Structure 1
Amino acid sequence: MRINVLQHTPNEGLGMIQDWSQKNGYEMYIYHPYQFGFLPTAAETDMLVILGGPMSPNDDVDWIKQERVLIKELLDQDKPIFGVCYGAQQIVKTLGYQVTKAPAKEVGFAPVYRRDVKFINLPEELNVLHWHEEMFEIPTDAQLLFSSDKVENQGFIMNHRIVGLQFHLEPKADNVREMVVNDFSYLEGSVLNQTKNEILQTKISDNNKQTLYKLLDYINR
């Protein structure tokens, strides 16, 4: 299987998604459209991973619009798509729903709570990394997966093939360090009121990895 990845900033990488891909023996190709302008075709994509970034789907930028053309083709072909933060927002925007300012800017570690999704066994609560101030609408055909104390729409699953998460399950400790040392100024204004040292000292639970793997396995059944 060929997994094509859209990465949108150097400091928000694949983390444990790459570990899952390697564990399963999949081929992975990483694209940087914000820098080089290239995207894969739908024909050469068996699965698409769309990572986070500092941009918004509402930005009037050509490569952002071209990403949605690719997403639409893959949705029509019923191919699995996994979106993280901006990536999840791009899926929602492609489907014709809104991405708006969240009621609270969340930057740091905080819990999310599983909603009433019966067909996949997920933990009731996870302590995850948040790095966002926008949020997505939940599409009509999708089910709400997770909510936080401050932002209800934290994740969705649709047609058993599409998962979008507003938060980050994928980072390992080194990935968190990379995000913090390069983007620590983004902490300003967060309702979580965490310092960069508090974020760096937070231990990542193995539940995050297990949940990530379950979601990726599920949409690739």
Structure 2
Amino acid sequence: MSIAVFYAPNAKDSSYLSEEESFHAIRVLRLRVGETIHLLDGRGSKFSTNIAALEGKKVAFGPLEVVESEPAPAYSIHLYVAPTKQMERMEWMVEKCGEFGIHGIHFFASKNSERKEIKLQRLEKTAISALKQSKNLYLPEITGLHTFKEIADKEGGEKLFAFISNPPVSVLMKTAAKNKEYHVIVGPEGDFTPEESDILSKNNWKPFSLGKSILRTETAGIAVCLGLHILNAD
């Protein structure tokens, strides 16, 4: 039988699971005192412990033993996305990028954006679920809704943006260098306006292509994440 995994960002400073994780342990999994559980802090560590007590609606756990620890990789991926009208598609993207492993997913509004607000809490829950399912050790940061200018003005790292053109620009795998702090923008389904593309280029964002097919926003986000992992695989 597999050992239940819980998200506990303050595992070293607290001996209790959160209310939501406690509910899952008690009401859904029906765990009992003495059972072994694993905790993920979302910052590179996995711990083994046991359920020490069930105190009302909260689960208390015992001393921690580090069973897995992973240093931050030589590269990191931060994805910037203009959210689609259907939020379920963004949740799916967050889930899949989280399974592959990503450090940040940030949402912004541009002229052709279909959505002007997002529910961060739902997206954060999706990211936590993906963390536990995939057994990754790093939880991505989820932020938004930023303005286009805030993203365009960003400094540092390797800055890339998906660009649809004819003829197409160079593909992502040939544009990005290895072992970088990647900041990658995927625009709205109506694409960036010419003015927005010009602003990105003037702010040293490098355009790249994801191939001849026109991808949905969420598909492009996942393709970026996977492509950068493959680029750095060796």
Task: Give the structure-1-normalised TM-score.
Answer: 0.28
Task: Give the structure-2-normalised TM-score.
Answer: 0.27
The structure that has the greater radius of gyration is 2
